[in-house]
Structure 1
Amino acid sequence: MRHTPIYAALLGFGLLAQAPAGLAKNLVFCSEGSPGGFDTAQYTSATDNDAAEPIYNRLVEFERGATAVKPALAKSWEVSDDGLTYTFHLREGVKFHNNNKDFTPSRDFNADDVLFTFNRMLDRDHPFRKAYPTEFPYFVGMSLDKNIARIEKTAPMTVVFTLNSIDAAFVQNLAMSFAAVLSAEYAEQLMTSGRPSDINQKPIGTGPFVFQRYQKDSQIRYRGNKDYWDPSQVKIEQLIFSINTDPSVRIQKLRKNECQVTLHPRPADLDALKSDPKLQVIEKPGFNLGYIAYNVQHKPFDQLEVRQAMDMAVNKPAIVKAVYQEAGQLAVGSMPPTQWSYDDSIKDAGYNPQKARELLKAAGVKEGTEITLWAMPVQRPYNPNAKLMAEMLQADWGKVGLKVKIVSYEWGEYLKRTKDGEHDISLIGWTGDNGDPDNWLGTLYSCDAIGSNNYSMWCDPQYDALVKKAKTITDREQRTLLYQQAQQRLRQQLPITPIAHSTVNQPLSAKVVDFKVSPFGRNNFSGVSTE
């Protein structure tokens, strides 16, 4: 079979790079939440993915601050003419972390590690998965469990993925956090010792930083990996995540130089931050969407008329002004306008509480009907103040005769319960992961995504057929037509109410060098240093 080369690493891709003469002693990142663990394939939130990011590599990775894919643990790859076979040639000399107390590797990274990583997600009867049962929401939500036919090792440093159907976003998907490559040798040791769950709490990877310890609600500590395969990317001796749920505390610590990078400032704080000579604020257009998800498996939200009424009852311009202030743009569609294939012909129904009241009455919803509205406990670029948004929605829906109870939980519990469908309505959102429309339209709203990122629990065969067909086509114009039809269907059926896209503001010390703001909302400290 003839193969077409797609991307080959040049001159060993960084293997000849020299480590800097002196490393910064440490860098403190004021993060906003405690991760559930470090087995990143289990998780979908930015909090979890940020905590795992320093530890691991993937076969391919996104360029820092950009959407282009570059080689990582795979130094090159080819795709067969029929688009179904991907052959990855692995990088030699890559070492897993030597954590002494927990694990000392006896060999370098090879194809066995790739097979373990993906077969654990693919095969429900995999021995490690039986020993440590868990779910893989991204892998399943993108239908990779159905579309990957097999993964084979054809040489010690060569792995071949065979697909059942063309997946135009396959390489981009492999650059996402869930595809972090784990050590098969470490997994075998954990199985033998009866401690397989340690893969989640005592992580071992090949990444630029080695995990040291984690204290929930307090801190995570990492040390620079002196054996990293690209030493030019390790410029910090100690990386520390200081966990602070309160945005005002994070900003205070940044101003006192108790941390050098933080995230999600309140809009009201931006002017003062930008005027502080000791700080810098990087501003980027947001590749995100904050929205309201109606659980269509709960009455009365199984009725389209009710969802239409809820949508019309929301004073979206008022919410954007109060919650996002100067950093928000009213959302109309189900993904950001900067995403290719976005359908700008879709229009918002507009604020019409009188029409909303009429629709609710026609649908048989009685005055005073009680519903629950779940509000996120954390800030996100797509929602800087979920509590305030929830209070405004409570007032809006109260005006059309509904009694709204606001509910919240700790972030990990919130995600778990909403994925299980316990909510009536939830505030949620998304920052794109890979620049492909499927990462929005498939990952958030498809039938396969119920139980992972489809918080509306909505499954529409007509919509699903469009999204699935679009993934199997490589021509962008044809994909765009299908995705626009899907967006029209989504707007017609209204499982969600889009609220806003926000501008991302990243505050950090003026002494931090070469920090790149990710379009996907990830905080990556490879290549970062301090003056």
Structure 2
Amino acid sequence: MVKDIKKIDRRKFIYAGLGAVAVAAIGVAAYFATRPPERVVETVVQTQTVEKPVEKVVTQTVEKPVTMVTTVAGTPTTIVQTTKETVVTTQTIKETVEKPVEITVEAVPVYGGVFKVATYASPSNFDPHVAPAHPDLMVAETGYEYLFRYDENFNLVPWLAEKYEVSPDNLEYTFYLRKGIMWQIIDRELTAEDVAYSLNRTQEFGLSKSFFPIWGEAKAVDKYVVKVRFPEPFAPFLFVLANPGARGNMIVPKLSEAELSKIGLTAEEFKQRGFATKIVGTGPFMLKEFKRGEFERFAKNDKYWAKDSKGRKLPYLDGLEFIPQGDASIRATYLRAGTVDMALGVDAKDLPLLQTTKGLKIIGQIGTWFGHIGMNWRDSPFSDKRVRQAVAYAINKEEILKLALNGGGEVAWSPLPNWNKDYKAFKSYEYNPDKAKELMKEAGVTEITGTLYGYPISPAPETMQVVQRQLAAVNINLEIKLVDIGTYVAELRNRDIRKHTITMHIWVDKVEPWTSLGQRLYPPGGTAFAEGLNPDLEKTGLKSIRDGLARELNPEKRRKMVEDLQRIWIEEVVSVPLWFKANYWGINEKVKNLKVEPQTINYNWESIWKEK
């Protein structure tokens, strides 16, 4: 039985910054004040003076008037007699006592140690502009940083930029950089030339360009000031810059030939592969060594610029080590054995055992992992909407949730999770295998054979096994094929209908709806095209909604567009939503001050520490 799991509250996403004229400087200390160090309850013995009533028995002599009748002259006479009696009196006394008292105090950070994390996949490319999957981003962001970050309420916080301004027409953004921030390895200061180069570089790659589809030019005004000018408004620009799931928003340096030599690359090598095997950032940790599929090891950046709210130097840790492991149960075993300090993506079936293991704790939430299956619209038979609908009707989502996720999640009726403020459920294709067979017959399709294609990251294989059986019931007979995630993404760019008949997808949804849905619909880099779904944007009306979301500043109009996009996604079967996975993290109790970002990509590596 799962119990006492610390839940992470969902916060209302704020459309701050849209149409803003200016934002004042925000200190890094203020950011860390919004993410204060962990507080602990300690029991101390305090000495207190207390007053208490005490009953005391005493014997005392008292004079009592007694009336007695005498015979002298026959007249009653009153005489006084002295008697002794016992009485009980109450007295208040003071005494000193020792009393245990619980008090809450701020935990004192501990410096040193290496934090080891069991991750769910090995990165294949460290370049933040072209990183194909979220494991790549999670590793890259230990060394690279953003112009902005989110705080725990999803408010925008300047980071490498200390302040910014937006013109009244929302076409020009001016960023003022913090001074004295140093690049790793090349050992020089971050400048506006670097930031302008990094932002303009987003247009060189299909994936990063899909996050910045509207672009003008970024220019360095002086050493610490950058201006970005757009030909038309790009409404989600600031949120894309802060979103840890985007591509192209981590800032990379503009390298001279001498600096390329310093990091061990020639100009031609850099032209071919960029930062694929190098991390040259301004962040709290520096990549020291890695071995694909085995580990990525980082050492503390001694020249890191940020300090905590008390003015203490960051990071607290001496190093980080990521150990990739696709099997969730093996990650849980690593944690129980003490091989790692934290296991990402723990499976629901392993929670009871972890909860009974001394020294461990679990935190969890219904997360942003969106599991769905997709078909290539460009190829027969899936170019026929009826066949896509048949696939949707053949799927029993409740059974998948129970068998593949052990109940650890929620059934998906939209490509957005139900905690998103713009979520709308469209239950257009509830489980009906008879209807699936009828639609297949109408489309003239008697059988579909081929492959069910995916990667070995839990719960994808478990989900695919259930989907395979459910589809076979309507004469869609597929063989499961699993490949590493890098191969998966590369192959789907040139999708073969026989080799990749139906595909298993796990996307990590973003907080802002455009970056979660609209961005995916920009070919060729948007995920709906990079992973071979290839929906017809013009015929379905998705193109106009996508473009509207990129430009529209009015929150109410944007909300209506997001609702329409969800409806069309479901009705046209862009893909078949299956589930939103509950994300669980297993953590050693000696790990302190961990803040988990809901998209499960960004972690506060710089301010985590381990007790000795």
* TM-score, with structure 2 as normaliser: 0.77
Q: CA, structure 1 residues 11+527, in 2 after alignment: closer, same or farther (shift >3 Å)?
A: closer
The residue aligned with 2:210 is: 141
Q: Give the secondary structure class of the aligned counterpart of 1:516.
A: coil
Query: Alpha-carbon deviation of 1:11?
Result: 7.6
CA contact (8 A) 2:113 2:318 kept: yes
The residue aligned with 2:27 is: 10
| 2-structure distance, mates of 1:396, 1:326 | 18
Q: Deviations over 1:20-77 (max 9, x none)?
A: 88522211111222211211211141210111111011111223x5522211110111
| 1-structure distance, mates of 2:258, 2:235 | 34
Q: Deviations over 1:211-234 (max 9, x none)?
A: 111111111111111111104340
Quick one: which of 122, 143, 150 aligns to 1:62? 150
Give the aligned residue type for 2:217: R
Give the aligned residue type for 2:607: G
Query: Alpha-carbon deviation of 1:348?
Result: 3.6
Q: Deviations over 1:475-515 (max 9, x none)?
A: 21111112212222222211211111122111110111011
1:417 aligned onto 2:491:
yes
The residue aligned with 2:63 is: none
Query: Alpha-carbon deviation of 1:148?
Result: 1.2
| 2-structure distance, mates of 1:473, 1:430 | 25
Instruction: Trace 1:356-367 onto structure 2 (pairs within 5 A).
Output: 356-367=436-447
| 2-structure distance, mates of 1:121, 1:240 | 29
| 2-structure distance, mates of 1:451, 1:310 | 18
Give the aligned residue type for 2:403: A
Query: Alpha-carbon deviation of 1:9?
Result: 1.4
1:183 aligned onto 2:253:
yes
Q: Give the secondary structure class of the aligned counterpart of 1:24.
A: coil
| 1-structure distance, mates of 2:318, 2:548 | 48
Quick one: which of 563, 567, 572 aligns to 1:488? 567
Query: Alpha-carbon deviation of 1:326?
Result: 2.8
CA contact (8 A) 2:253 2:280 kept: yes
Instruction: Trace 1:235-314 onto structure 2 (pairs within 5 A).
Output: 235-314=316-395
CA contact (8 A) 1:15 1:230 kept: no
Q: Give the secondary structure class of the aligned counterpart of 1:526.
A: helix
The residue aligned with 1:430 is: 507
Max Rg structure = 2
The residue aligned with 1:42 is: 130
| 2-structure distance, mates of 1:186, 1:68 | 36
Give the aligned residue type for 1:259: V
Q: How many equivalent residue pairs? A: 500
| 2-structure distance, mates of 1:221, 1:447 | 35
Query: Alpha-carbon deviation of 1:169?
Result: 1.1
The residue aligned with 1:101 is: none
Give the aligned residue type for 2:376: N
The residue aligned with 1:349 is: 429
CA contact (8 A) 2:518 2:549 kept: no
| 2-structure distance, mates of 1:469, 1:205 | 34
Q: CA, structure 1 residues 307+194, in 2 after alignment: closer, same or farther (shift >3 Å)?
A: closer
CA contact (8 A) 1:450 1:457 kept: no
Q: Give the secondary structure class of the aligned counterpart of 1:521.
A: coil
Instruction: Trace 1:392-403 onto structure 2 (pairs within 5 A).
Output: 392-403=466-477
Q: CA, structure 1 residues 15+517, in 2 after alignment: closer, same or farther (shift >3 Å)?
A: closer
Q: Deviations over 1:122-142 (max 9, x none)?
A: 2x5xxxxxxxxxx341x2223
The residue aligned with 1:316 is: 397
Give the aligned residue type for 2:418: P
Query: Alpha-carbon deviation of 1:470?
Result: 2.5
CA contact (8 A) 1:321 1:328 kept: no
CA contact (8 A) 2:416 2:423 kept: yes
The residue aligned with 2:50 is: none
CA contact (8 A) 1:294 1:456 kept: yes
The residue aligned with 2:520 is: 444
Larger RCO, structures 1/2 (Cα 8 Å, 6+ apart): 1
Q: Deviations over 1:349-375 (max 9, x none)?
A: 2111111111111111123x3132112
Give the aligned residue type for 1:470: L
Q: CA, structure 1 residues 91+263, in 2 after alignment: closer, same or farther (shift >3 Å)?
A: same
The residue aligned with 1:195 is: 269
CA contact (8 A) 2:523 2:529 kept: no
Give the aligned residue type for 1:301: F
Query: Alpha-carbon deviation of 1:284?
Result: 1.8
Q: CA, structure 1 residues 495+356, in 2 after alignment: closer, same or farther (shift >3 Å)?
A: same
Query: Alpha-carbon deviation of 1:397?
Result: 1.3
| 1-structure distance, mates of 2:361, 2:29 | 35
Q: CA, structure 1 residues 194+275, in 2 after alignment: closer, same or farther (shift >3 Å)?
A: same
Give the aligned residue type for 1:5: A
The residue aligned with 1:520 is: 599
1:79 aligned onto 2:166:
yes
CA contact (8 A) 2:132 2:486 kept: no
The residue aligned with 1:329 is: 410
Query: Alpha-carbon deviation of 1:432?
Result: 2.4
Provide runs of 4+ in structure 1 moved above 6 Å.
14-18
Instruction: Trace 1:19-34 onto structure 2 (pairs within 5 A).
Output: 23-34=111-122
Q: CA, structure 1 residues 216+9, in 2 after alignment: closer, same or farther (shift >3 Å)?
A: same
| 1-structure distance, mates of 2:386, 2:111 | 61
| 2-structure distance, mates of 1:409, 1:68 | 38
Give the aligned residue type for 2:464: A
| 2-structure distance, mates of 1:500, 1:271 | 22
CA contact (8 A) 1:210 1:225 kept: yes
Give the aligned residue type for 1:387: P
Q: Which moved more, 1:21-30 or 1:314-323?
A: 21-30
| 1-structure distance, mates of 2:202, 2:536 | 23
Q: Deviations over 1:368-405 (max 9, x none)?
A: x31321122112xxxxx222221221111111112212
Q: CA, structure 1 residues 152+80, in 2 after alignment: closer, same or farther (shift >3 Å)?
A: same
Q: CA, structure 1 residues 410+10, in 2 after alignment: closer, same or farther (shift >3 Å)?
A: closer
Q: Which moved more, 1:439-448 or 1:259-268?
A: 439-448
Query: Alpha-carbon deviation of 1:80?
Result: 0.8
Query: Alpha-carbon deviation of 1:8?
Result: 2.3
CA contact (8 A) 1:296 1:456 kept: yes
CA contact (8 A) 1:376 1:414 kept: yes
Q: CA, structure 1 residues 316+192, in 2 after alignment: closer, same or farther (shift >3 Å)?
A: closer
| 2-structure distance, mates of 1:339, 1:15 | 26
The residue aligned with 1:130 is: none
Quick one: which of 93, 99, 102 aligns to 2:180? 93
Q: Deviations over 1:389-438 (max 9, x none)?
A: 212211111111122121221111112212333322111122223x2111
More strand by percentage: 2
CA contact (8 A) 2:347 2:584 kept: no
CA contact (8 A) 1:141 1:442 kept: no
| 2-structure distance, mates of 1:77, 1:169 | 15
Q: CA, structure 1 residues 186+62, in 2 after alignment: closer, same or farther (shift >3 Å)?
A: farther
Give the aligned residue type for 1:439: T
Give the aligned residue type for 2:164: W
Quick one: which of 214, 226, 235 aligns to 2:302? 226
More helix by percentage: 1
The residue aligned with 1:128 is: none
Q: Give the secondary structure class of the aligned counterpart of 1:241.
A: strand
CA contact (8 A) 2:328 2:345 kept: yes
Give the aligned residue type for 1:267: A
* TM-score, with structure 1 as normaliser: 0.88
CA contact (8 A) 1:31 1:242 kept: yes
**Structure 2 unaligned regions, length at least 5:** 1-18, 38-107, 309-313
Query: Alpha-carbon deviation of 1:202?
Result: 2.2
| 1-structure distance, mates of 2:281, 2:268 | 20
| 2-structure distance, mates of 1:220, 1:239 | 8
